[in-house]
Amino acid sequence: MELLIKNVTIIDHDKNIYGDVFIQNGKIKDIQSSISKDCKTVDGMGLILMPSFIDLHAHFRDPGYTYKEDIKSGSMASVKGGYTYVSLMANTNPVCSDMETVRYVAAQAEKIGLIDIHQCISITQGMDGKTLSHLNSIETDLVKMISDDGKGITSNMTMYKAMTIAKEMGLIVNSHVEDKEIAEKDSRLSENIMTIRDIELAKVTGCRLHIDHVSTSQAIQAIVQTKQKGYNNITCEVTPHHIFLTDDTDYKVNPPLRKKEDVTDLINALKYGFVDAIATDHAPHSQEDKQKGAPGISGIETSFSVCYTALVETGYITLNKLSELMSKTPAKIMGLCKGEIKIGNDADLVLVDIKKELTVNPDTFLSKGKNTPLKGRKLSGEVCMTFKEGKIVYEKEMQNHDN
């Protein structure tokens, strides 16, 4: 299969050029100022072509909570948001603590055919906070990250042992930094303590540690200081909502929305290269569950627009830097041949219109989760078309069709 994308501004982490991109057999075959081919052609005049986005942290609720989301609806929401690779957390029902569940998710993703999905296995068996015996059965060709996201691991020894096993197996420990006991009194202190603890354990064990949804000034400062000392086995992510919203927005997420000073410190750390990735923590819920207090935002469809509006339009970072945070570095963390527009890479791409202003309307979400505090907010930057291995998997005019 061949595809030619013409007349686009090509932007990734280090490119800003005008031209055409030729795709053959799912790979980027050529990049030139002008290419002529007798094949299917997409004219992207006036649009920007970027590497599609890679989400290191999302919840599709399948198996067990498919009334909130399933692999199909989550995949459709992903491509609408410009994502073609998503790493899913293990807090499903049953908890993903075995390869059987991993294979189920992989089979569903392959059948649907819109995105690549990586399924995390839980750090502790059933997320019980203590049992690690199941880790020995992980097949590392399919599983790259382990995570108890949704729950912090309280026991220091359990986390130490988990990191030791992860180091031996070449796995990344994806850490939800929350001490639940302290969180009931002080969520900020809870995140800060667990961030420092996990950093210290990662220093000792040498395992690859990825810290989820950093939200406080103190936590990001601890990460910055660690990186400045040369510990390159530690990476971190921030979410779109934690860099766009503050605690004056009455909306429940975990970790909570923080103060303006926290947002400023997160953006500064991101600007100066201490944040590795922007990950959505896409957390779809039913209206009933949200009313009962379930924390989370359905955010994968609005992520690019939020980040462009909060970071690029304001002048904090360039679009090149945003591409690095949403595509290149996440691809590097996961060991993927994606995230850059270069010859030989997977042709996972996205066409965006940065001049387009949109008003967030959750009724148009393809996700089952309509839970967002952004309803009615005006944002800049819209995903117009998403390509997976050179195949169009989303285009704006077709969003109401069954992909």
Which sequence positions are flagged as catalytic? 281
Peptide bond connecting 295 to the previous residue in cis, omega within 30 degrees of 0: no
Q: Compute the CA torsion angle 230, 225, 174, 207 (nearest 10 deg).
A: 30
Measured in degrees and rounded to the nearest 5, phi and psi for residue 290 equal: -65, -40
CA distances from 85 to 52, 125, 192, 278 (A): 8, 26, 30, 13
* Residues forming beta bridges with residue 32, ordered by sequence position: 20
Query: Exposed/middle/buried for 142, CB within 10 Å: 0-12, 13-18, 19+?
Result: middle
Through-space distance between the first and last CA atoms of the chain, rounded to whole angstroms: 19
At 85, the amino acid letter reads: Y
Query: Exposed/middle/buried for 110, CB within 10 Å: 0-12, 13-18, 19+?
Result: exposed
Q: DSSP letter for 111, please.
A: H
